[in-house]
Chain A
Amino acid sequence: MLEDNQQIGLFEEKPLTVTEFITRTNARLKTMNARIIGEIGRVDEKNGHRYFSLKDETNGSTLNCIVWRSKYEMFGLNLKEGDKIIAAGRPEIYAASGKLSFICDAIELAGTGALKKAYDALKKKLEAEGLFAPERKRKLPQYPRTIGIITSRQGAVINDFLTNIGKFGFQLELVDTRVEGQLAVGEILAAIRTFRRRKIDVLVIIRGGGSPESLQAFNNEMIVRAIAAFPAPVIAGIGHDKDVPLVQLAADVSVSTPSIAAMQLNASWQKIIQFIGQQEILIIGGYKNELAQTRAKLARHTAILANFHYLLKNITKALDSKMQKMIFFLAAALAAASQKIDYLQNLIASHDPQRPLKLGYCLASVRGKIIKKSAQVAVGDEIILKLSDGKLLSEVKKIEADKI
């Protein structure tokens, strides 16, 4: 029901044309975005566009729906009568026919069973084409610099990633996209196209965990193909249910969390920094060690000088010692010689024939021979008595021999 001040043309002087009325009505209808669940009735195709009715299962209410070709191809669904879907969009009146239709911006299968069926079918198809083959997986560049990130600016995911990426001079560029529901498909595709035009080393596409319905965009065929064909290696970290999102299978590197995605990127940088640190220790430390060893060698050679000085001192000492010994022996020899001389002198002195004469003895001789026995002389012989200071001429008057 229109508010009083919104009543169109009711009180205007000039009535609106049909076109004007439809235009004004469509302007209001544009604000009525909605998500509607229903069962598909008949599906008609014209020029690639899909025209179908969406029926309320409870009471049969029907809404005419249109999915334009570009959107239909993007969502990759094969709509058939009886499929239960959720359509997101807004109503619009087609001026030519006056018919009200619901223009779908996004369509998705409703119900886990249907989603699983579609997932399995697409997975089989893409697997057969080799999109998930291990030999297709590219290695991440060794020292990536420019990183493109597709995720929502809101939420914990980007914060986790940025917290763990580290400071290695990365040039990060984020394209903010929805990551939930089918409306995310268009934004993600646009983001991939944006990064294709840039020269980046690695593309990262991440989101947190969620229900299978919320992850549907990451099972979209166009997105999966765009990831598989991306010119640079792709890291995908889509929180998943037991069915791995197909984007993750198509990516070159599949990780379970945004922090692991970040660590994949900085691993080589961490290693090189560690390596440089080790080389610094080896080279700087090694050189320092060499300098110390050279100084020690020099110190050992300096000992030559000290040793020679010591040698000279020893030689001098030895010479002094020899001199001392020689003097000692010489002195001893002199003393001994002196002693001997004294002894001999005394000996000679003691054997001096003059010595008894001085003591009052005399030396008697007869006919030139020393008288030693009384038998050598007879009475009347002339004997000479030698005294210490002269001689006495004597005659033997009487001989008295000692009795033995």
Chain B
Amino acid sequence: MPTKKTETSLNDNLKQLAEISDWFSQQKELDIEAGLEKVKLAAALIKASKEKLNTLENEFKEIEKEFGEEPTDTGM
């Protein structure tokens, strides 16, 4: 069955990362093998999130530049 590739949003990624963080903090005795699987997932989420964040920041910088270039005088 072909796997369906869905692009998750930045917020969804951060939510999953928060869940992973919580899992680690709740472990009294860490299961190393389960921990490694969580870390692998976290690494993938972090990578994807950083890429998304870079794209957003670049787009925002363009908008900020436009505002910086607009004259404040509306002219008569």
Question: By the criterion CB–CB under 8 Å, are B76 and A311 in contact?
Answer: no
Say how far A220's CB is from chain B's closest CB, in angstroms: 33
Q: Mark out the residues of chain A between 295 and 329 whose CB falls within 8 Å of any chain B CB in the assembled complex.
A: 295, 297-298, 300-302, 304-305, 307-308, 311-312, 315
Which residues in A have their C-beta under 8 angstroms from that of B38?
Answer: 304
What is the total number of residues of chain B having a CB less than 8 Å from a CB of chain A?
30
Q: Is B69 an interface residue (CB 8 A)?
A: no
Contacting A at CB under 8 A, from B22-76, are 24, 30, 32, 35-36, 38-39, 42-43, 45-46, 49-50, 53, 56-57, 60, 63-64, 67, 73-76
Compute how far the CA of A297 lies from the CA of B17 in the bound complex, rounded to whole angstroms. 9
Q: Are B56 and A304 in contact (CB under 8 A)?
A: no
Closest residue of B by beta carbon distance from A308: B39
Instruction: State which of B20, B30, B32, B35 has its C-beta within 8 Å of the C-beta of A301.
Output: B20
A284 and B64 form a contact (CB under 8 A): yes
Q: Which segment of A17-25, A28-36, A163-171, A177-185 sits at the interface?
A: A163-171
Given A169-B74, A294-B14, check contact A304 B20 (CB 8 Å): yes
Q: Is the interface of A mostly helix, strand, loop or mixed?
A: helix
Which of A288, A305, A308 touches B46 (beta carbons < 8 Å)?
A: A305
Q: What chain A residues lie within 8 Å of B35 (beta carbons)?
A: 308, 311
**Which residue of chain B lies nearest to A303 when distances are taken between CB atoms in the complex?**
B21
Instruction: Known A287-B60, A291-B60; judge A167-B76 contact (CB<8 A).
Output: yes
Give me the interface of B with A, judged by CB distance under 8 Å: 10, 14, 17-18, 20-21, 24, 30, 32, 35-36, 38-39, 42-43, 45-46, 49-50, 53, 56-57, 60, 63-64, 67, 73-76
A-side residues, CB < 8 A to B, are 167-170, 273, 280, 284, 287-288, 291, 294-295, 297-298, 300-302, 304-305, 307-308, 311-312, 315
